[in-house]
Amino acid sequence: MAVLSLLLAVQGVLILLQFQVSLGSWEEWWTYDGISGPNYWGLLNPEWSLCNMGHRQSPVDIDPSKLLFDPHLRPLHVEKERINGIITNTGHGIVFKANSSTKASAVHINSGPLSYDYRVAEVHLHFGSTEKFGSEHTVAGQTFPAEVQILGYNADLYKNISEAVTKSQGIVGIALLIQMGVETNLEFRLLTSQLNKVLYKGQQAVLNSFSVRELLPDTHFYTTYEGSLTMPGCHETVTWLVMNKPIYITKQQLYALKQSMQGERDNPKAPLVNNFRPTQATHHRLLRTNIDFNRHKNQQCPTMYKNMFYKANTGNPGLQ
C-alpha cells in the first residue's frame, strides 16, 4: 500500500505539473533534480519520450578497457576564426550562443569521425556544487568538477541548429572535461569573464572575439560515439567527441560559476549548480578512439588509461 500511495502521489504531481506546463512553456519546467529531474523528463512531455526510452542516450561513462581503436579516425579539425556572441543564464545552465547573422565569422568543425561540415552554434557549461563532481561524461566511473560542451550543427544539410537537432547526423558535440588547476587557458578565462553579468535567469552579456579552437586542449586524441543531447528532448542526433585531455578551472572561476542562480533577480530560487545529467546505458554502442593502446602501452603519452593520463580530481597536469 505504501508503494502504491507513493506511485499515486507521483502520478498526481506529474498530472499537476503537466497542467501547469500547458499554461506556459515546457522549457520552464524541467530541472536537474526532484520530480522534474532527469528521471522524469520523458514523462513531462510526450515529445521527450527518448529521454526515458531511447537507446542512444548521453552522457556515458568512458571505460578505457572497452574502447575500440579505429585506425581510420582522423584528427579533428576546428577552424581558428574568432566569433562573437551572447552568453546567457538560461535557468538551466550558462550558454554561449554564436552570432549567426554573418557566415564570414563562422567556425566550422570537420574531419575526425565526421562525414559533413558542422558550424559551431553553442557552448554549454555544466558544473557541480563541489570540486568532486559536475561533469556529464565520466572516465572509468570518475567524475570531474565541470564540463564544457561545444555544439555544432550540420551546415551541409541544415540551415540552423533548430532544424538540425531532430535530424540524422544533425549535431556534433565536443566534450571538454575540466580539472581543477592553478591557471586556465585564455579562452576559458574569456568565457567565464562575464559571469558576474549573468547571475540570474534571463540575464545576458556580449562576448566578442572568442576562439573555440584555442579553448580546446592540446591533443588530437579523443573518444567518439553516437549519442543524444543531454537535455530535453534528448534527441539521438549527436556525434560526440570526448577529448582525451582536460582543460583547467581555478577555484575562483568555479566559485564564480556557483554564484549563478536558477531564477530571475526577484525570485532567484536555488543556485544553478549540479546541472548535469547522470550517465546513461550504452546499450552495446561502440565507443571508438584514435588511441592505439598497443602502440602506446609503454610510452609516456596521453591515453584513456586511468592509471596513465586521465586521472579525475587530481589537479595535476597530465602527461604531454
Strands 82-89 and 108-111: unpaired
HSE on the CB side for 11, CA within 13 Å?
6
**Segment holding 247, helix H or strand E:** strand 247-249
In whole angstroms, give the CA distance from residue 30 to residue 187: 30
Answer left, alpha or beta for residue 140, where phi above 0 means left and psi between -120 and 50 means alpha: left
- State the distance between the two ends of the chain, measured CA to CA, in whole angstroms: 59
What is the length of the chain? 320
Question: Would you please indicate which residues are annotated as catalytic (active-site) residues?
Answer: 158
Cα 58 to chain centroid, rounded: 9
Q: How far is CA 16 from CA 125, 140, 232, 263, 269, in A?
A: 31, 39, 19, 21, 20
Q: What angle do CA 107, 112, 115 make, to 5 degrees?
A: 80
Using alpha carbons, select from 225, 212, 274, 199 the residue that is nearest to residue 38. 274
